[in-house]
Amino acid sequence: MTNSTAIKRPLGANDTPARIAVTCALAGPALDLLRTVAEVEVPDADRPLSADELRSLVAGADAVVVTVHDKVDRELLDAAGPALKIVANVAVGYDNVDVAACADRGLVVTNTPGVLTDATADLAIGLLMSVTRRLAEGDRMLRAGTSWSFRLDFLLGCGMQGKTLGIVGLGQIGRAVAQRARAFGMKVAYTGERASNEVEQSLAARYVSMDALLREADFVSLHCPLTPQTSHLMDAAAFDRMKPTAFLVNTSRGPIVDESALADALEAGAIAGAALDVFEEEPRVEPRLLAMDNVVLAPHLGSATLETRTEMAVLAARNVVSVLTGSGALTPISS
């Protein structure tokens, strides 16, 4: 089931080699780095592990490296046992980790901020271009062998110049999207935590309430973390406040959008279209969305470049090595 390499420092429980449980395949440089300090166990399965498989894998581990689809709850921490020192999440968001439960056990939790900012921002703009210019729709038409000819009214889309991009969450990724939006001639409004005057001025970004953003924006792009407060932030009431010509883009977390309410809004013409990289119940997608030409769907590709995924994995590995060798975490999450 697993492949592992034992190296005898640092020592774990009972003076045995420290052990690192990795829940999925990582880039080679990250695994090589982990193997310099411990025995590394990686499942052969090319899929998310079940809860039982996760508990079995982490039992007795000194460190655990997880991804966004691995639920790190009290049961998993209990299964790991007292040797566990760090949970390294290969992602920026950490809604999959019970940070409070980790804090109760004195565990360090880390994430991978910064390294995936540009890749995710690029994808957000790419999704926006695809849905507004009907690129995926045209691609499907050609692949289906549908007859066509150039006409001045053929597959007309929506331009971005002069339009307002509403950004929900002006963190690192939100700011990177705003920079790209300016290059396309868009105006930027944002909501969420207020940025500094310097950031607002550098991005020509205008702070507005959530209600005002939904009413004013031609494009709404989600970049907030998933919390109890943001779960189903985009619900039926939110879609009712958007322009009927507006588009939604989500590269944050799936449950921020009520997919059923989104499908209802699209069917009713309450908004013009949507582009989603994340979903409420991944890998499941609301079936009605699959049948809609004005919806562009991607299978969670926000950080999916070779360079970015490698950097994410290496940063997670560096956090583990640093904690196990007593130097402290590089990018810790506080509870």
At residue 47, the pLDDT reads 85
> Quick check: is 329 in a domain?
no
User: pTM (2 decimals)?
Assistant: 0.91
Residue 333: inside a domain, yes or no?
Answer: no
Instruction: Identify the CATH number of the domain in which residue 33 sits.
Output: 3.40.50.720
Residues 168 and 152 in one domain: yes
* Same domain membership, residue 187 and residue 147: yes
Q: Are residues 224 and 196 in the same domain?
A: yes
In a domain, 334, yes or no: no
Same domain? For 281 and 250 the reply is yes
On whether residue 312 sits in a domain, the answer given is: yes
The single residue of 35, 105, 182, 300 carrying the catalytic annotation is 300
Mean pLDDT of the chain, nearest integer: 95
Does 53 participate in catalysis according to the annotation?
A: no
300 noted as active-site residue: yes
Look up 282 and say whether it is catalytic: yes
Same domain, 36 and 86: yes
* Strand ranges (E), the chain: 2-3, 19-22, 39-43, 63-66, 86-89, 108-110, 164-168, 187-191, 205-207, 219-222, 247-250, 273-276, 295-297
C-alpha dihedral sign at 49, 53, 55, 57: negative
Per-residue pLDDT, 14: 56
Read off the pLDDT of residues 11-39 as tens digits, 9 standing for 90 and up.
Answer: 555 567 899 999 999 999 999 999 999 99
* 260 domain-assigned: yes
C-beta of residue 45 within 8 angstroms of C-beta of residue 4: no
Candidates 53, 75, 200, 282; catalytic one:
282
Q: Are residues 264 and 129 in the same domain?
A: yes
Total structural domains in the chain?
A: 2
330 found inside a domain:
no
- Domain match, 62 and 101 both: yes
Is 332 a domain residue? no
Q: What pLDDT, in 10s, does the model give residues 238-258?
A: 999 999 999 999 999 999 999
Statement to judge: residues 69 and 39 lie in one domain: yes
Pick the catalytic residue from 253, 280, 286, 318: 253
Question: Would 244 be classed as within a structural domain?
Answer: yes
Domain that holds residue 180: 117-297
**Nearest CA among 27, 37, 99, 26 for reference residue 63:** 37
Same structural domain for residues 124 and 106?
no
Q: Do 171 and 314 sit in the same domain of this protein?
A: no
